[in-house]
Structures are given as structure tokens and as C-alpha cells.
């Protein structure tokens, strides 16, 4: 392990993005939150926030290729005909590709599995599940901007026969709810004022349609859910606390991020037959991997 991770990152960026150390260093010190202009070797020009450069360089180093550039958008191609357009001015799209496709935070084999994907953002995770063998993926994304991008990516990656995207929020009742929308950080949008991540920047509210976990389960025609992935910026508390044993019995495993402390989530999951692992936990945020005790 290197004792100079920032230097290693800069070396990787220099190699993959064809930019000298002095320019990187100057931008890092004086213009870190501004856009960085890059002329790549293949003739493409990119305007991208500096904070996204390490993720982009790592993706390129892991075999991803840039296939097109638009205003504020970057389309990359990975293995197995995966084509994903990411935002280069807002959000955390490139970082999520690292977590999901490079670090494989959700694993890598989903052959024949039924998956509920809560919080699909630009569709990256649902596409990943489908490309790695999932039988059916139902994905939720309440933010219209992210959802429209997800539709584009799902079609571009040719997994629209496997992934069913819904422009809805996961709720405890089938009612319309208010979504708090961050202008520059769509990955932090939430319907839960109390438990959401408090971020800086402009935000507004939009009315979105809600759907219950029971109704989503009905879309699988009585089959069990192999994985419930939850990254819904606070909705995890109300959903798990208001789900009955009948619902939990249909779910074999849960991968989730919590956003306002772990609260009573371990107790709820253990009471409903799950063993749990907690990782990367601090006072507010962390990850829970839960699996039914009788599932190997």
C-alpha cells in the first residue's frame, strides 16, 4: 500500500488523462471546485469538475472507454456492451461506477436472481445486475432528471428486457410524496426530511408518486427476491420499520446504505431472520449487508 495516495492518484490521472503534474497541482490548490478542461489523445475535449478526475482516470485504467462527450455529459463504454452516460457537473455518477463496476461493492454473480433496486440514479446498478445474469430487476428512481438518464442508459446497454425502471419513490403507502431535490447533488435527494443527508446548495421540492414494497413484490408474481438493494437517502428507516413478516419472508438478502445513524435497523433485521454485517460505519452513515440465516 502506498504511503502517498494523492501522489499515486495524480500519477494515474497524468497517465490516463494526458495532463502534466504542474497543471493538476495548480488546479487542485486554487480551482478545485471548478471545471477542468482536458484534450484527450483521441481528439475529444472534456469540461469536467476536478473532483471527478480521479474516478474518470481509474475507470479508463480499468478498461472503460470514452465514446462521446456532450455539454455536462460523458458517455463511457465498459465490458459486455455496457454503455453509461454520466454527469460531469453534478452528482456522483463516475464515483458510483467505481464502487459498482470496479470495486464490485454488490458482488459479481447474480445469475437467475430477482432484484429490487431502490435508488438507481442513472441506472448504473440495475444495468450491472442485469449484465451479471439477473433474471429480473425492478428499479426505482424518483428524481426525473436521473430517471430520464437511467432510461437512456438501460436502452443503450441493451438490458431493457431485464430491467423495469419506475419513476417512483419507495413509500409505506401508495400516495404522492414530496421529494427534496438538490440542484447540484441529485444523488442526495430524499423524501425523508429527518433522515436525509444535509447538504449545501440550492434545493426545491417536487411531488412524486409513491409505491409500496408490497406492490413491487407483486411484480415478481410470487417469486422470492434474492436481493433488495437500498440506497434511498433515508427511506430505509420507515420502510424496514413498517414492513411485516410476510414481506421480509420473501426477501433473501438486503444490501443497504444508512444515512442518519444505524438507529434500530440491526434489531429489525435480526428479528426478521437476517444475520448482518456492518461496514464503513461512522456516526451517521454506513453499510449493512443482511442475509437470511438459512441462506448460504
Going by pLDDT thresholds of 50, 70 and 90, the confidence category of residue 1 is very low
**194-212: pLDDT as tens digits:** 998 888 889 999 999 999 9
Give which of 139, 147, 261 is closest to 194, Cα–Cα.
Answer: 261
Cβ atoms within 10 Å of 265's Cβ, excluding its own:
21
Indicate whether 236 pLDDT > 60.
yes
CA dist., res. 256 & res. 46, Å (int): 33
Pairing of strands 274-279, 286-292: antiparallel
Buried b / exposed e across 205-244, counting CB within 10 Å, b at 16+? Answer: eeebebbbbeebbeebeeeebbbbbbbbbbbbbbbbeebe
- Under a CB-based contact definition with an 8 Å cutoff, are residues 279 and 289 in contact? yes
**Secondary structure element (H or E) that encloses residue 24, with its range:** helix 21-30
Indicate whether 262 pLDDT > 50.
yes
Angle 51-56-57 (CA atoms, 0-180°, nearest 5)?
105
Average pLDDT, stretch 100-121?
96
Give which of 84, 23, 36, 35 is closest to 59, Cα–Cα.
Answer: 84
**pLDDT of the residue at 144:** 96
Average pLDDT, stretch 140-166?
97
Indicate whether 118 pLDDT > 70.
yes
**pLDDT of the residue at 36:** 80
Inter-CA distances, 14 with 34, 58, 102, 255, Å: 18, 11, 20, 35
CA dist., res. 168 & res. 142, Å (int): 4
Average pLDDT, stretch 145-172?
97
Decide: helix, strand or coil at residue 121: coil
CA dist., res. 192 & res. 130, Å (int): 29
Bigger pLDDT: 33 vs 193 = 193
Q: CATH 3.40.50.150 spans which residues of the chain?
A: 106-296
Angle 84-85-90 (CA atoms, 0-180°, nearest 5)?
130
Give which of 163, 115, 159, 123 is closest to 141, Cα–Cα.
Answer: 123
Going by pLDDT thresholds of 50, 70 and 90, the confidence category of residue 2 is very low
All 3 cell numbers of residue 150?
Answer: 437511467
Fold classified for 106-296: Rossmann fold (3.40.50)
**pLDDT of the residue at 13:** 83
Give which of 5, 149, 132 is closest to 78, Cα–Cα.
Answer: 132
**22-64: pLDDT as tens digits:** 777 766 666 667 788 888 767 788 888 888 989 999 999 999 9
Indicate whether 5 pLDDT > 70.
no
**65-110: pLDDT as tens digits:** 999 999 899 999 999 999 999 999 999 999 999 999 999 999 999 9
Average pLDDT, stretch 14-19?
83
Decide: helix, strand or coil at residue 294: coil
**pLDDT of the residue at 106:** 95
All 3 cell numbers of residue 267?
Answer: 434489531
**pLDDT of the residue at 31:** 67
Cβ atoms within 10 Å of 55's Cβ, excluding its own:
20
Average pLDDT, stretch 161-179?
97
Indicate whether 296 pLDDT > 60.
no
Bigger pLDDT: 214 vs 23 = 214
Q: What is the reported pTM? A: 0.93
Amino acid at each position: 500500500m502506498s504511503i502517498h495516495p494523492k501522489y499515486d492518484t495524480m500519477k494515474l490521472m497524468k497517465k490516463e488523462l494526458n495532463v502534466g503534474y504542474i497543471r493538476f497541482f495548480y488546479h487542485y490548490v486554487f480551482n478545485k471546485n471548478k471545471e477542468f478542461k482536458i484534450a484527450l489523445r483521441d481528439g475529444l475535449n472534456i469540461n469536467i469538475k476536478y473532483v471527478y478526475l480521479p474516478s474518470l482516470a481509474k475507470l479508463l485504467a480499468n478498461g472503460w472507454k470514452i465514446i462521446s462527450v456532450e455539454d455536462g455529459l460523458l458517455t463511457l463504454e465498459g465490458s459486455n456492451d455496457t454503455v453509461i452516460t454520466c454527469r460531469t457537473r453534478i452528482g456522483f455518477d463516475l464515483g458510483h461506477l467505481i464502487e459498482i463496476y470496479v470495486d464490485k461493492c454488490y458482488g459479481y454473480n447474480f445469475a437467475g436472481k430477482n432484484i429490487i433496486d431502490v435508488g438507481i440514479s442513472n441506472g448504473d446498478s440495475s444495468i450491472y445486475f442485469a449484465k451479471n445474469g439477473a433474471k429480473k430487476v425492478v428499479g426505482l428512481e424518483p428524481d426525473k432528471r436521473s430517471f430520464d438518464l437511467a432510461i437512456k442508459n438501460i436502452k443503450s446497454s441493451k438490458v431493457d428486457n431485464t430491467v423495469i425502471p419506475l419513476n417512483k419513490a419507495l413509500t409505506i403507502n401508495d400516495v404522492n410524496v414530496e421529494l427534496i431535490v438538490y440542484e447540484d447533488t441529485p444523488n442526495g435527494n430524499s423524501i425523508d426530511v429527518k433522515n436525509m443527508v444535509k447538504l449545501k446548495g440550492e434545493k426545491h421540492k417536487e411531488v412524486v408518486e409513491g409505491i409500496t414494497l408490497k406492490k413491487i413484490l407483486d411484480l415478481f408474481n410470487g417469486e422470492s427476491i434474492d436481493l433488495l438493494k437500498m440506497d434511498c437517502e433515508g427511506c430505509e428507516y420507515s420502510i424496514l420499520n413498517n414492513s411485516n413478516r410476510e414481506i421480509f419472508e420473501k426477501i433473501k438478502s438486503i444490501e443497504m446504505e444508512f444515512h442518519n445513524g444505524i438507529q434500530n435497523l440491526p434489531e429489525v433485521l435480526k428479528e426478521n431472520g437476517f444475520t448482518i454485517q456492518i461496514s464503513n460505519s461512522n456516526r451517521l452513515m454506513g453499510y449493512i449487508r443482511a442475509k437470511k440465516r438459512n441462506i448460504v
